[in-house]
A and B are shown apart, each in its own frame.
Chain A
Amino acid sequence: MIDFELEPQVVKRAELYHAVALNMMRSIARKYDEEEHTQPWDFFEAMWAASRQEAGAQPDSAERQGARAGGRSVETAVLVEEMCWGDAGLFLTIPGPGLGGAAVRAAGTPAQQERFLARFKGERPVWGAMAITEPGCGSDSAAVTTSAVRQGDYWVLNGTKIFCTAGQLAAEKSDGLVVVWATLDRSLGRAGIRPFVVERGTPGMSVVRVENKLGIRASDTAAIVFEDCRVPLDHLLGDPELKRSAGFKEVMATFDATRPIVAAMAIGVGRAALDFVREFLAAHGAPIRYGLPASRQTALEAEVVEMEVQLKAARLLTWRAAWMFDRGMRNNLEASMAKAKAGRVVTRITQKAVELLGPLGYSRELLVEKWMRDAKINDIFEGTQQINMLIVARRVLGYSSAELS
């Protein structure tokens, strides 16, 4: 039965998260944008305490998060939108399993999930990160060159990973873990790529650089080098006997779960800009009016209502993709639709917001210019807009990646 209404408890949680976004994130958003590479530990501690409290109040939440059917992606999308309304950069620094944890859940055996995710229930904030991208390959993630070679009871990893979100927090600043995608045998192509868990402090893993970025500056984006980095055999996620199992599919399974969430991130930033523009214009004598013929609508109003409905379209696509994931339906097409649409729409909305406020929009006195810089990442990470369009095209045409590349 078609329904667009969130459950009351989700609405309640969204209100709570909105308050957090407003009071704890907005208030420090500019500071950690200006002071790149510094970390808001008070914020980390507060968020960690809150998540532990929440997990305590809902003892089954960790288990439910791991389950596909009966999952809570729609709720997550709603809450992530609220937090990114607060600040997308800070949202990405919130301690927790993150993309690394998502990979463990998507590709790990139950025993591995239990073991590797246990650290996220401790006293101190912990981060998980995922490392796929390399200097020589981004969207073409099947071309990874980081190698994993078996030596006795260990896998030995060698290679360089870049653009690893929260990589420094996971690898150096907490008792975290990094899921590294490496190839067992380059001649196997995609099938040879497997995920390995590397825990903080493993010799041979080092963060060599934290990037200076256009936006989401509160979040660390790390370059990590693996040099004869040895991890035990059972740190290979999944069944170690299945050497030829489809490792790449596991990356994709991760993306099917995370792309709607990244879309929700984008929507949060877009809504921040849209809300601000609307309130600012109303406060300055130019409220947005509805129900007028086009001949009497101002150009400003036309732009704002267009932004509003584009954002809504992106949100509905996002909820649908998340809902499908929760129901255990294959959502590869819909996840990419949502991600492509949300990234594009929100990039445009935030750029428009700067334009609509004129020189004020361009000023660092307001957060609007920051939202524009922050928003752009959603058009790039977790699959660029173009990669997601390619996936949509393949799915609707019924083409393999060989037939449409």
Chain B
Amino acid sequence: MVDFQLAPEQEILRQTLAEFARERVRPAARAADEAGAIDPQLVREGWELGLISAPVAEWMAGETSTRSALTGAIAAEELAWGDLAIALRMLVSSLLTLPLIEMGTDAQRRALLPRFAGQNPALASAAVVEARFDYSPGELQTRARRIDDGFVLDGKKCLVPAVEGAELILVYAASEEDAGRRRHDAFIVPADSAGVARRRERNMGLKALETYELTFDGVRVEASGRLGGERAVNYPRLISQWRAGLAAMAVGVARAAFEYARDYARERKAFGAPIATKQAVAFMLADMAIEVDASRLLAWETAWRLDRGQDAAVESELMRRYVANATLQVTDSAVQVLGGHGYIREHPVELWLRNARGFCAFEGLTMV
């Protein structure tokens, strides 16, 4: 039955994260962007929220998973409202833990998941995106070649977050199967494997989140390193999960920009009255409000499909495109509402515009 009300536990989570984002994340955002680094203490505080460790603990306790992509989306929106780069950094290990819980073999889960529990967790990341103008997650060019006792990876990835300090990287690659049929696989690769080279990237946004270009040159992975073993992974579903998480974060960024512009327009006076009383500005704000809500509903709908066990491949593709465009439009409008002040780095709207543009390129930067 159609319902738009959060479950009580989702509402509690939302409020908790909203407060954390307001009190801890937002105040740190500008300094982190300028410095190109996030305060490790803040990252630890983020870990203590339990967003990554709770599903791990559930698995370790042998409980049925209560993980929900929709709940994850609600959480991701709130964190990203504080700051996108910090939110991504706080959630980065889930790029390994969540696929592992859902699609890993028992041996893989037993070996790796305990490292992501407790007070001194390991750090993991994932390598999905490739630096090509015609990049598509359905056509990866990083290759996995089968050899006797495992696989050999060759290729180049970009936008890999938080590699410094990461022990494990989940690398996505196309592998040749029998009869020349190509499939996409995920490989658990220790970050210090021979043949892995890294270079820190410089991007328009997400400056606080260290992202890397990774080169894989004949990197050998044991047979047991393929996520899911012989069964492998449900790759279309993973793509949809990235998209749901990223879209929820985009909504957080767009909402931040909308709210800031709205409040500014109520304060800022021109020609003797707040600029928000002029239709030219008021209508921009109305449009922004509509697009934020439309984007959220689309993101939720994809997450809801995932929670029902669907892959939502087409839905997530369309949704992703919509939300990326809407978020760009909303953040651009926010800069516009602030006029010249929006262009100055004292206000956060230019940062949100830079971050928002990335949603056309981000894929596999988060998972909910």
State which of B102-110, B173-181, B195-203, B291-299 sits at the interface with chain A: B291-299
Name the interface residues of A309-360: CB closer than 8 Å to any CB of B. Answer: 309-310, 312-314, 316-317, 319-320, 323-324, 334, 337, 340-341
State which of B55-63, B133-141, B182-190, B343-351 sits at the interface with chain A: B133-141
Write the nearest CB–CB distance from B128 to chain A, whole angstroms.
14
Contact at A3–B286, with CB atoms within 8 Å? Answer: no
Interface string of A380-405 (1 = CB under 8 A from B): 00000010011011101101000110
Q: What's the interface size class on A, roughly?
A: 35 or more
Write the nearest CB–CB distance from A263 to chain B, whole angstroms.
12
User: Chain A contacts of B70 at CB under 8 A?
Assistant: 2
* Residue A291 CB within 8 A of the other chain: yes
User: Chain A contacts of B295 at CB under 8 A?
Assistant: 313
Residue of B nearest to A314 (CB): B294
Contact at A296–B134, with CB atoms within 8 Å? Answer: yes
Rounded to whole angstroms, the CA-CA distance of A334 and B285 in the bound complex is 15
Contact at B262–A312, with CB atoms within 8 Å? Answer: no
User: Chain B contacts of A393 at CB under 8 A?
Assistant: 276, 279, 282-283, 285-286
Rounded to whole angstroms, the CA-CA distance of A150 and B358 in the bound complex is 65
Contact at A397–B4, with CB atoms within 8 Å? Answer: no
Residue of B nearest to A319 (CB): B2
User: Chain A contacts of B139 at CB under 8 A?
Assistant: 293
Residue of A nearest to B288 (CB): A396
Which residue, of B283, B314, B319, has the highest number of chain A Cβ atoms within 10 A? Answer: B283
Rounded to whole angstroms, the CA-CA distance of A309 and B291 in the bound complex is 13
Contacts A308-B318, A313-B298 given: A397-B134 contact, CB under 8 Å? no
Given A3-B3, A7-B1, A397-B266, 19 new contacts (CB under 8 A): A2-B7, A3-B1, A6-B2, A291-B136, A293-B134, A295-B134, A309-B318, A312-B318, A316-B298, A317-B294, A337-B293, A389-B287, A393-B279, A393-B285, A396-B289, A397-B276, A397-B282, A399-B277, A404-B276
B residues whose Cβ falls under 8 Å from a Cβ of A = 1-7, 10, 70, 133-136, 138-139, 262, 265-266, 276-277, 279, 282-283, 285-287, 289-290, 293-295, 297-298, 300-301, 304, 313-314, 317-319, 321-322
Sampled A-B contacts (5; CB under 8 Å): A317-B293, A324-B4, A389-B287, A390-B282, A397-B266
A residues whose Cβ falls under 8 Å from a Cβ of B = 1-7, 74, 290-296, 305-306, 308-310, 312-314, 316-317, 319-320, 323-324, 334, 337, 340-341, 386, 389-390, 392-394, 396-397, 399, 403-404
